[in-house]
Amino acid sequence: MNSHKTWPDNWHSEFVHPDKQYKSTSLKVEKVLYSGESEFQKISVVMTSSYGRALLLDRVLVKTERDSWLYNEMMGFLPLGMINEPRDVLIIGGGDGGVAGEILKHPTIEKVVILERDQRVVDISMRYFEDSGVTIRDSRVEVVVGDPLLVTQRRKDKFDVVIVDMFADMRSPAHKVVAAELLHGLQYILKPDGVICYQQPSPLVNDTALREQMRMFRRYYPSVGYAVNIAPTLPQGSVGYALMSPQEGVDFSVPKQGFGVEEARKLGLRCYNTEVHQGSFMCVPSIVRDMVSEGHPDTPSTEGAPPISGNKKHIYSVQSMFSRQQSAGDN
C-alpha cells in the first residue's frame, strides 16, 4: 500500500470508449488513501475534491460518497417494487455494500446475501467507507466470497430478488459465456414470482452491448423490461437496468408495492418512489425502446462453462471458471 501516492496529474479520467478517447468524465484527486492489488484486480481509494472518497477497481470508478446512492437505490428498489413483501435478496457483486445498504431500508427485508468474488473489495470498502462498514456488519447481511457461477449452483435457498451488480462486456466471447451460464443458473435460485435486476450499459453509447444482452435475457426469461436513470460520475452520464421475470406478461412499469414521495422519504430514500419507478420505464427514448425490443436470436454457446450440478453443498470460498473467463476477456 502507498497511502500518499500522487495520482497522475491529480485527475481521474474515464473515457466513454477506452479505445476511442474522445470524451471522458474527470474527478480531481486530492489524495490517494489506498493503492493495492488483489488476486483479481487493482484496488484504489482516493479523496476527490467534490465527490468525497471514491473506490476504483482497475482504475474504473465504482463508488463515490456523494452520488453512488442514485445508482444503488434504483438497482435495489426497482426489483423490490415488483414483489409483495420481499424478504430475501441475493446481490452478485456489490462487495462495497452500496446496493445492500439501500435494500436494507425496505421494511420487509430479512436477509441480504452479497456474493463477491474478491474479499479485498469487501475489506477495503469497510475500512475506508463508513456506510459500507455499517451495512456489511448488519445482522441481516451475509457475505459469501467465491465464484458466482459455482456458488449460485450450490445454494439451496431461493430468493425474491437477484441483483447482478456487475457489467459483462458483450464484446468478449468469454464474458458472453459467463453471462449466459449465470442467467441459466439463476433460474434455480429464483422464487417462481421473483425478479432479476441486471446492470446495463448506457443505451446511447454501448448500443451493441445493450442489444446483445437484451436478446440473451429473453432467451431465458419471458418477461424483460428496461429502465434508465442518471449517473453523474459515469462517463456516459446514465445507466440502464434490465429486469427479468420467469412469469409471462409482467409489466415492470407498474410496481406491486408502491412508495409515495413522503413514504419513500421516511424510509430514507432520496431518489426512488412510485413515480420515479414508473417514469424510469415509461420515459425511455424511442430509439432505446427499439434497441431493447430487437429480435430473439439464440443465446451464445456455453461450451466450456460448468454444467449445472446436482451437488448443492454450501461453500464460502471457491475459484474457478468465472475468474479464468473474466481474465481471458480482459486480455
HEC states along the chain?
Answer: CCCCCCCHHHEEEEEEECCEEEEEEEEEEEEEEEEEECCCCEEEEEEECCCCEEEEECCEEEEECCCHHHHHHHHHHHHHCCCCCCCEEEEEECCCCHHHHHHCCCCCCCEEEEEECCHHHHHHHHHHCHHHHHHHCCCCEEEEECCHHHHHHHCCCCEEEEEEECCCCCCCHHHHHHHHHHHHHHCCCEEEEEEEEEEECCCCCCHHHHHHHHHHHHHHCCEEEEEEEECCCCCCCEEEEEEEECCCCCCCCCCCCCCCHHHHHHCCCCCCCHHHHHHHHHCCCHHHHHHHHCCCCCCCCCCCCCCCCCCCCCCCCCCCHHHHHHHHHHC
The Cα–Cα gap between 197 and 296 comes to: 19
**Residues designated catalytic:** 165
Task: Kindly report the backbone phi and psi dihedral angles of residue 177, in degrees, each rounded to the nearest multiple of 5, phi listed first.
Answer: -65, -45
CA distance 116 to 136: 12
Retrieve residue 147's grid coordinates. 465464484
Which cell goes with 65? Answer: 460518497
